[in-house]
Every structure is written in structure tokens, then in C-alpha cells.
Amino acid sequence: MPGSGSPSKGLDDVVIDDSSISLVEGDRGWLVYRGFDIAEVVRAARFEEVVYLLSFGELPGAPSLRRLEEALASRRALSPELERVEASLPVTLPPLDALRTLVSAMGSDAPGYPPTFEDGLSLVAGCPTLLARFVRRSRGLAPVPPRSELRHVENFLWMLNGEVPDPRRARALERYFLLLADHGMNASTLALRVAISTQADLVSAAVAALATLKGPAHGGAPFRVSDMLDSVASPQNARPWIADALARGQRLYGFGHRAYRVEDPRAVLLREIAQDVADPPRFALALAVEGAALAALRERKPHVPLYTNVEFYAAVVLEAVGLPRELFTPAFALARTAGWTAHALEQASSNRLIRPDVRYVGPERGRRWPEPVP
Ligand code: ACO
């Protein structure tokens, strides 16, 4: 009988489909893109290569990479209609909300279903321009047009700040993008795949994904990590601050993960990147807060495997790269457009409407509607 089984609240361990894009092995702390361990990806890859890899399963050869870069470059400029929509948004909107609204407005000239890799490139290339343009206007600054000779992540920083970025910082942000490009059946990717399964277009599906990324249980955690570090203020204050926060029932942002029973491999790599680019006192503060948080969580919840997740050191890295806090979750979204594209293509390639069920626990059938009020 439909809807009569025990609910799987949160869909833990529910397998909805086969996927070849990324493997998340929560018990072993593995994240693998199309067979490449994430440590291997973050060591050597370019973001553009990962955009291609996630969708096609192989690395692009030099000619394909060049064509991909040209295709991205040709999609960075905005249409006059989209510029007008951007100009009409109130600058008080949080940048993630602005990005979601502007991506929605991209839909007017986007083709429908099934999605194509070119639709994905429009999303990957368009989002940084939309975000940078909105942020600059909110700062009272003129837009900075993209430069075709700059790589994807450098271009974002260029369009945002109007300066060619320092290579060390640009590479740190690119490595962040590589680490965040995909992550199995996470909440925003599921939302995207549900939308694609209804045969909606990629832009609509990306709006669903962006909406799902917003909450602190998913993409909305890292700016809260920065706020927490500010509030702790000194390594000596880490232990009492954490004890007090937990005593008040507060969740510690940057810790815990649905999939991982061991440390999130992205946290390990981001810690190394943070050590390389962050101001030493900020990094020392982060280490002290992490140590105090892990010790306190182990003591309070010995049976729950709670470790540092991707967002903790992501915050430290994004601060060091010079991004303001309100751009942390949007930066996550820019990186994840690579994975969203791949998942949209995969979903459409053997599509079946994703339509789960709920167990009905409301009143029994048979209630009578009262006579209409005269
Ligand atoms: N701080 C304190 N306690 C925690 C934390 C935390 N960060 N995370 C989990 N717990 C505790 C819960 O209170 C719960 O305890 P209980 O069983 O005694 O009630 C237990 O651990 C299990 O928690 P759930 O909420 O059931 O775990 P779930 O898998 O649903 O949550 C989540 C995962 C949402 C990430 C959670 O760990 C959390 O809220 N973390 C803080 C926010 C955060 O860092 N978000 C970013 C996640 S990474 C990403 O999505 C990109």
C-alpha cells in the first residue's frame, strides 16, 4: 500500500539512483571525482578541467580544454536584458538571494529540456559575472568586464575587485572551488535532480539548488564560522566559549556531517590551504577552536561521530582570499555549478520522475464538510 511504510526521515542511506560522478565514502573519508581522489584533484587540476571531467568522465585533451575555455569566455558577458534585471535589484539584498534571482532571470533565453553541456557552461560562466556585478553595484562601483586571458577563478576575483589577483590567493580560491565542485547526493544536488526529473530546464533546476544551498545545515555555515572565530577572539578563550555555546544548546558550525563517520577529506585539505594563506594568528585561533570543539563534542556526544566538516576551514580560506562573509555561500554556489551541470546531464540521460511518498498520519477518511454558511 503506498505511503504505509516506515518513513526514512532525512532519507539517510536511501539510494535513489546510480551515479558515476562522485563517490563519497563516509566511513573511510574518501571523496572521489570520476575515479580521481580529491587530494589528487586539488593538487594539480584547473577548475575548467574539473567542469569537463565531472560531466564527461575524462579529462579534456588540450584542444577540448581550449574550446571549453573559449566557450566559457564567450558566455561571461551578460545580455542587456540581464543587465537591466541586475540594475533593478535592491542593493540591500543578500548576495546569495541576488544570485538566485539573477540566475532565475537567465531563464528567458535558455533552452528547455533535456539540458546540454552548453547550458551548463552558461551557468558556470554566467554566475560569477552576475555575482561580481551585483556586489560591485552594492559597493557603489562600476562593473568590471571579464578578461578572456584570465582563468575562471581569477576572472571572478578580477570582476569582483577590479585587480588581477595575487597568484597565491587565486590558486587558494581555485583549490576551494575544486574541493566544492561536487559531493554525491547532497541536498542542493538532490533538489536540482528532482527539478530535472520533471523535465524542467537547467536554469530552473539551478534555482532550486541555489535555494537549497542557503540554509546553515548545507551551504549557509561558513560565514557563521567566521562570526564564531571573531566571537571567541583568542585561543585561550576557545574552551570556555565552546563549553558555554554547547551548554546553551547551540550547534557548532563547521562540525558534523550526514555522510562522514570520520574526518571530511575536504577539511583536511582546506586546513593545509588555510595554513598556507591565512594570517598566522587567525589560523592559530582556528586551530584552537577546532581542538576545543572536537574535544567538547567527543565528551558530550561520545556515540555520535562528529568531526570538522568542509565549512570550518573553508571560512578561514575564504577570509584569507579576501572575500567578505556575505560571499562565502555564493562562492560555494559558483564552485558547485560544475557538479550541478554534471548531475543535470546524468539525470536527464536516464530520467525517471523523482517522486517519493509520505506516510499519511492525518485524520481518517470520512469527515463531513459542514453545510455552507448561508
Ligand atoms: N554541534 C553540536 N552538536 C551537533 C552538531 C554540531 N555541529 N552536529 C550534530 N550534532 C549533534 C546533534 O545535536 C545530535 O545530537 P543528539 O542525537 O544528542 O540530538 C547528533 O549530533 C546528530 O545530529 P543530526 O542533526 O541528527 O545530524 P545530521 O546528520 O542531520 O546533521 C549537520 C548534519 C546538519 C551538518 C549537523 O552536523 C550540523 O548542524 N552541523 C552544523 C552546521 C554545519 O556545519 N553545516 C555545514 C555542513 S557541511 C555542508 O553541507 C557543505
SS (H, E, C) the chain: CCCCCCCCHHHCCCCCCCCCCEEEECCCCEEEECCEEHHHHHHHCCHHHHHHHHHHCCCCCHHHHHHHHHHHHHCCCCCHHHHHHHHHCCCCCCHHHHHHHHHHHHHHHCCCCCCCHHHHHHHHHHHHHHHHHHHHHHCCCCCCCCCCCCCHHHHHHHHHHCCCCCHHHHHHHHHHHHHHCCCCCCHHHHHHHHHHHCCCCHHHHHHHHHHHHCCCCCCCCHHHHHHHHHHHCCHHHHHHHHHHHHHCCCCCCCECCCCCCCCCHHHHHHHHHHHHHCCHHHHHHHHHHHHHHHHHHHHHCCCCCCCECHHHHHHHHHHHHCCCHHHHHHHHHHHHHHHHHHHHHHHHHCCCCCCCCCCCCCCCCCCCCCCCCC
Catalytic residue among 86, 152, 183, 257: 257
237-252 residue pLDDT tens? 999 999 999 999 999 9
Q: Compute the average pLDDT of residues 283-297.
A: 98
| pLDDT value at residue 184 | 97
Given phi > 0 = left and psi -120 to 50 = alpha, else beta, which region is 39? Answer: alpha
CA dihedral (207, 209, 214, 215) positive or negative: positive
What is the whole-number distance in angstroms between the Cα of residue 309 and the centre of ligand 1? 10
Please check the confidence at residue 1 and state whether its pLDDT lies above 80.
Answer: no
Helix 328-349 vs helix 310-321: crossing angle, to nearest 10: 120
| pLDDT value at residue 5 | 77
What is the whole-number distance in angstroms between the Cα of residue 35 and the centre of ligand 1? 29
CB of 193 closer than 6 A to ligand 1?
no
* Domain segments of the chain as ranges: 20-214+327-349, 222-321
Q: What is the band of 6 on the pLDDT scale with cuts at 50, 70, 90? A: confident
CB of 225 closer than 6 A to ligand 1?
no
42-72 residue pLDDT tens? 999 999 999 999 999 999 999 999 999 999 9
CATH superfamily of the 20-214+327-349 domain: Citrate Synthase, domain 1 (1.10.580.10)
166-200 residue pLDDT tens? 999 999 999 999 999 999 999 999 999 999 999 99
Give the count of beta carbons closer than 10 Å to the beta carbon of residue 303: 4
Q: Compute the average pLDDT of residues 354-362.
A: 95
Please check the confidence at residue 255 and state whether its pLDDT lies above 60.
Answer: yes
Q: Compute the average pLDDT of residues 304-323.
A: 97
pTM value? 0.95
Question: Could you tell me if 328 and 318 are in contact, meaning their C-beta atoms sit under 8 angstroms apart?
Answer: yes
Percentage of the chain with pLDDT > 70? 98
Look at ligand 1, atom 22, and give the residue with the nearest C-alpha.
304
Ligand 1: nearest atom to the Cα of 187: 50
Please check the confidence at residue 3 and state whether its pLDDT lies above 70.
Answer: no
Residue 257 falls in the annotated catalytic set: yes
Please check the confidence at residue 108 and state whether its pLDDT lies above 70.
Answer: no
**Hey, which of 12, 303, 306 would you mutate to test ligand 1's pocket, going by the most ligand atoms within 8 Å of its Cβ?**
306
Q: What is the band of 2 on the pLDDT scale with cuts at 50, 70, 90? A: low
Percentage of the chain with pLDDT > 90? 93
pLDDT averaged over every residue in the chain: 96
Fold assignment, 222-321 = Cytochrome p450-Terp; domain 2 (1.10.230)
Please check the confidence at residue 4 and state whether its pLDDT lies above 70.
Answer: no
Q: What is the band of 374 on the pLDDT scale with cuts at 50, 70, 90? A: confident
CB of 87 closer than 6 A to ligand 1?
no
Q: What is the band of 109 on the pLDDT scale with cuts at 50, 70, 90? A: low
Residue 149 falls in the annotated catalytic set: no
| pLDDT value at residue 41 | 98
| pLDDT value at residue 220 | 85
Please check the confidence at residue 110 and state whether its pLDDT lies above 90.
Answer: no
CB of 312 closer than 6 A to ligand 1?
no
CB of 52 closer than 6 A to ligand 1?
no
Q: Compute the average pLDDT of residues 30-40.
A: 98
Q: What is the band of 13 on the pLDDT scale with cuts at 50, 70, 90? A: confident
Q: Compute the average pLDDT of residues 3-22.
A: 89
Dist CA 175 CA 177 (whole Å):
5
